[in-house]
Amino acid sequence: MVDKKHSILVVDDEEMFLTLMRDLLEEEGFEVVTCVNGKEAAALLEKGPSFSVIIADYKMPLMTGTEFLEIAKRRSPHTPRIMITAYQNAKMMEESINEAEVFRFLTKPVDIDSLMAVVRLAIKKFELHVKEEEANKQKDSFIQRIKAALEETPLTNDDSSFDQLVTRDTSQVDEGFSPVEMLDMIAALSNALDIINPALNNHHKRTCYIALCIANELDLPTKEVGTVFLASILHDIGAIVLSDRFKLMTFEDNSPHAHAELGALLLESFTPFSFFAQLVRFHHVPWENGQGETFKDRPVPKLSHLIHLADRVAVLVNKETVVSKQVAGINEKILSARGTVFVPEFVDAFLEVSRQEAFWLDVVSQDLDEVIKEKSQLPAIPLDLTGMEELARFFATIIDTRSHFTANHSSGVSASAVRLAELLNMSDTECHEMRIAGYLHDLGKLAVPETIIEKPGALDTGERDIIKSHTYHTYSILKAVKGLEKIAIWASYHHETLTGEGYPFHRSAEEQPLGARVMTVADIFTALTEDRPYRKGMEKEEVIAIFSKLVSDGKIDKKVTDTLLTNYKEMNDVRSKAQKEHDENLKFFWAHTKEVAS
């Protein structure tokens, strides 16, 4: 039996056939509405009732089934339409397919088993559309709430306005999931960007802390302080190549604008963060006694200059030397560039802050998270599952845009893992969590140099050790975020094996939950079937052979693998569709990447 929510419209001029259809479909739990001709049915659709499936005979008085189904397509384009006829011919079928976009044909006398099989397929198609539509609505709602909270709403220390804007009724979808603080997630991304190499010295957080101290010293409006926080903690997000990051660690850098432009493009690709993209785009423009108010005929936000100052102070700090012995030299360097490189009033505010020993001790502290959060003046911004999915998708974009070799990998893994979870009857909440884990599973690869990721030949022992460390970094970054404990395990265990020979933790089968096993299979499947710049994805027979060997060796879960292989075509379609959509969404970014590089 099925849920009563599905209503089916049947249109035929034979009363006996309508009675038969009503009895069959109602016995299966469907609500059934019947009409004796297309004109009556079209009038009914005009009044507004919605149907999950529409079934119509071809040969009817007043209008043909094709003519009616064409009207039905216009009224309800996403409702599957089924044609039943005793008069099949090529012209009729061509018209029905081209004009009415008929989902399936059935021939009278109707075989009951065939009828019910087609109806169930149509219901499944309709449910998938409803699910996608709801997901898109939630996504749009999330984007608007975050955008309003960060851009349009006056930021105060009263959390209630944010709670109303950012949270939603989570009683249905989010059962078992605790909202995650958005600021914690942004801090996690900042951590990931800075673990590319220890020499980067916690650069994002240091810059953010220095910028916030200057902003507070200037007594800037709360909204501007919050904007400075967001832009500064992600200011080098576009420096996705390690060599670029090292160049930025020198005080005098003559070519800083490429990474700033790429960072702005990444932020603009995620609507809630697009409003502070301009601050990132121009955060290396020197003041030049006021000429820095524009750059290449474009206005430069003044807060970009504040971040520029904080960024340059941060690179002057040497972690190998006691910070108190560096203060005088740093102050002198900054003061000498007052008016030429830096805005005078910003320099004055920095020098005032610099008088505090606590400021410098905070700058070199390894645990800046709570201090930064307090100084940001941003209230708590709790993310539900929908919000987490969208932010995780943004993280995946940053992870995958480091290399064309893996440019859509995370999207493929995420989509594959979710479909596997659905086929295994995991809960709605677990399926949402699986999508997040899929997007974040390679977060630790931000710590792997692109020279290793893109190396055409075999890796040496040292390089293999480095790339194997990425799952450890994924775990350590995510476990630090309250509410992501389960997702941290699912995301980071994707190279573990049930025999305990995987990495980085060598977990036994008993220590690997179903979610982690699903992620492992989804990651392997995506890696084998996706196209890479240097090779095409494997054919089905090759993929099956590899999975069969892994199962026989006891390395991966048999039930999960059997589910994948039983639904191979659907799984491959889901994976391919997700990766193509990701590529389409990033067309603009990749095109501009080439422009910036040239």
Same domain, 332 and 245: yes
Evaluate whether residue 374 is within a structural domain: yes
Give which of 560, 559, 528 is closest to 545, Cα–Cα: 528
CATH code of the domain covering residue 474: 1.10.3210.10
SS3 content of the chain, % helix, strand, coil (to 5): 65, 5, 30
For residues 374 and 399, membership in a common domain is answered with: no
Asked, for residue 502, whether it belongs to a domain, the answer is yes
Residue 337 shares a structural domain with residue 428: no
Over residues 345-395, the pLDDT tens digits come to: 999 999 999 999 999 999 998 778 878 887 887 777 788 888 888 889 999
Domain membership of residue 166 (yes or no) is no
Residues 211, 235 contacting (CB under 8 angstroms)? no
Tell me the pLDDT tens digit for each residue of 203-250.
889 999 999 999 999 999 888 888 999 999 999 888 765 444 445 445
Q: Is residue 234 part of a domain?
A: yes
Does residue 535 carry a pLDDT above 60? yes
The pLDDT-based confidence of 583 (bands split at 50, 70, 90) is confident
**CA gap 347, 342 in Å, rounded:** 7
Number of domains in the chain: 3
Residue 294 shares a structural domain with residue 394: no
Are 224 and 339 contained in the same domain? yes
Distance CA 495, CA 439 (A): 15
Note whether 367 and 440 are same-domain residues: no
- The pair of structure tokens assigned to 50 is 């919605």
- Coil vs helix vs strand at 273: helix
Distance CA 71, CA 550 (A): 52
Judge whether 152 lies within some domain.
no
Gyration radius (Cα) of the chain, Å: 29
Last residue of a domain, one of 382, 402, 418: 382
Indicate whether 430 and 525 sit together in one domain: yes
Could you tell me if residue 150 is inside a domain?
no
Q: Which helix (H) or strand (E) holds 316?
A: helix 302-316
d(CA 296, CA 390): 33
Within 8 A by CB and 6+ apart from 366, the residues are 202
105: three-class secondary structure by DSSP? strand
Q: Which amino acid is it at 199?
A: A
Residue 473 is part of which domain span?
A: 384-597
pLDDT of residue 172: 42
Shared-domain flag, residues 361 and 468: no
- The reply to whether 567 falls in a domain is yes
The sign of the dihedral angle between the CA atoms of 196, 201, 203, 208 is positive
Residue 198: predicted pLDDT: 52
The model's pLDDT over 282-304, given as tens digits with 9 standing for 90+, comes to: 999 999 989 989 998 899 999 99
Within 10 A of 201 (CB to CB), how many other CB atoms are there?
Answer: 17
**First-to-last CA distance in the chain?**
61
- pTM > 0.85: no
